[in-house]
Amino acid sequence: MKHQTTEENHALSWWKELFYIAGFYFVYSQIRNQFGSNGLFAATSSTAANNAELVIKFERALGLYFEETVQATFINFTWFMWASNVFYGSLHFIVTIGAGIYLYCKFPFRFRRYRSMLGATTAIALTGFALFPLMPPRLLSAEAPYGANLIGYKFVDSLSEFGGLWSFDSGTMQAISNQWAAMPSLHLAWAAWCVYALHPILRRKISRSFLLLYPLLTLFTIVVTGNHYWIDGIAGLVALALGAIIGNWLNGYWGRRRLITSLKL
């Protein structure tokens, strides 16, 4: 019987990981979109708007409701808002995927641990989307069916106003997306995951510095574009912390299973 080479096994492992990740994200997307603004278990716009006002009330009680001020400061800089929309809509995936590929190629055993952590974090976020549909700031003054047309808020739907690489205005995007999936912020959770996974293994100070800057820019971007409240970002960090606990447990569990299997062979 012909034995597979190390390269062949590595290639098979690569395709297996890709299949797992793609399958997980597909299932995640399908479940996420059954709640919120569309789907079988869709919430109502009033529920999402009421939850938004609860969040704002809580932030005001803390003396930290500043999202309107942040967006108003930059809203007249068209190029800046467009660039912020591009940042929000693209780096979320590009940087996270790049970090995963780097880990897989250079630190495969570390990749297993952090892949599990990222998956657990994303699953936790899915629970948040289902239990607490939250209308993002940019939709508070927007029209139905996804907006609340609330008086007293000055948020601008920056994606509709300034554009980006994609838009929620298309019928297809509205049909396949959950526009009230704001709590917690996966954008910040994934950005912080990149730091957690890569910072200890990067050698250059400038690389580590840029990496640390990434979640800070992400937090600013999700607020200035009106896609999240700052507290969504904090919830994203909590989801990551829980995901780290679950991911480490899963990695240890499957590691023991692999060890037992290898000893039996």
Mean of all residue pLDDT scores within the chain: 84
Determine, yes or no, domain membership for 245. yes
- What is the model's pLDDT at position 63? 96
**Do 167 and 215 touch, CB atoms closer than 8 A?**
no
Determine, yes or no, domain membership for 82. yes
Determine, yes or no, domain membership for 1. no
pLDDT of 114-169, one tens digit each?
999 999 999 999 899 888 999 999 999 888 777 788 888 999 999 888 887 765 55
Q: Does the predicted TM-score (pTM) go above 0.75?
A: yes
Determine, yes or no, domain membership for 16. yes
> Regarding predicted confidence, which is higher, 200 or 264?
200
Determine, yes or no, domain membership for 56. yes
Calpha distance 141→149 (Å, rounded): 4
Percentage of residues in the chain having pLDDT higher than 70: 79
Domain of residue 59 covers 6-264
pLDDT of 214-225, one tens digit each?
999 999 999 999
Over 50: is that where the pLDDT of 3 sits? no
pLDDT of 22-63, one tens digit each?
776 777 666 666 665 555 556 678 899 999 999 999 999 999
Which residues are within 8 A (CB) of 42 and not within 5 positions of it... i.e. 6 or more apart? 34, 35, 36
- What is the model's pLDDT at position 36? 58
- What is the model's pLDDT at position 225? 96
Determine, yes or no, domain membership for 110. yes
Structure tokens at 155: 């948020």
The residue-averaged pLDDT of 174-186 equals 79
Over 90: is that where the pLDDT of 81 sits? yes
Count of domains for the chain: 1
- What is the model's pLDDT at position 184? 96
- What is the model's pLDDT at position 8? 39
Over 60: is that where the pLDDT of 173 sits? no
- What is the model's pLDDT at position 108? 86
Determine, yes or no, domain membership for 174. yes
